[in-house]
Amino acid sequence: MANVILVFGSTTGNTEMLAEHVVAGLEEGMASVTVKNVTEASVDELADNDAILFGCSTWGEGDLQDDFVDFQEAMDGVSLEGKKAAVFGPGDSEGYTDSFCAAVDMLEETLKKCGAEIVAEGFKVDGVVEPAFEDAEAWGLKVAKAL
């Protein structure tokens, strides 16, 4: 059974709701999951897990959710060699076509720079998250099977 840490940042609750459904899929795939709000997480605990999942919404012109900014910066120089990783998050393509879910892409790049292997394409949700709950569970299961 793979040990997974899922770290999310949520301003309006959308990413947190998605995280709950991603966790359901991970657990269906027999992963043991620890869920942490990014405000209560430390980059030091990432390496203690087999896999790392980040959930982060995109704000403005492609910015990370506010709580994730310092966390991402603290990852500079952290080694995640041999770890599996994946990222999900909501965004809004209306008016933000060029930066739609850019936070997902930024966090994937950060994980790669730290040596982690991205095991599933970033799960990006456009607009309202409720219709994507089933897809979030399926994505979580897909990630679990890739571990």
Q: How many helices (H) and strands (E) does the chain have?
A: 4, 8
Distance (Å, whole) CA 45 – CA 48: 5
Beta-sheet pairing, 32-37 with 84-91:
unpaired
Range 3-145 classified under CATH 3.50.50.60 = no
Show pLDDT as tens, one digit a residue, over the chain (147 residues): 899 999 999 999 999 999 999 999 999 999 999 999 999 999 999 999 999 999 999 998 899 999 999 999 999 999 999 999 999 999 998 877 789 999 999 999 999 999 999 999 999 999 999 999 999 999 999 999 999
Residue boundaries of the structural domains of the chain:
3-145
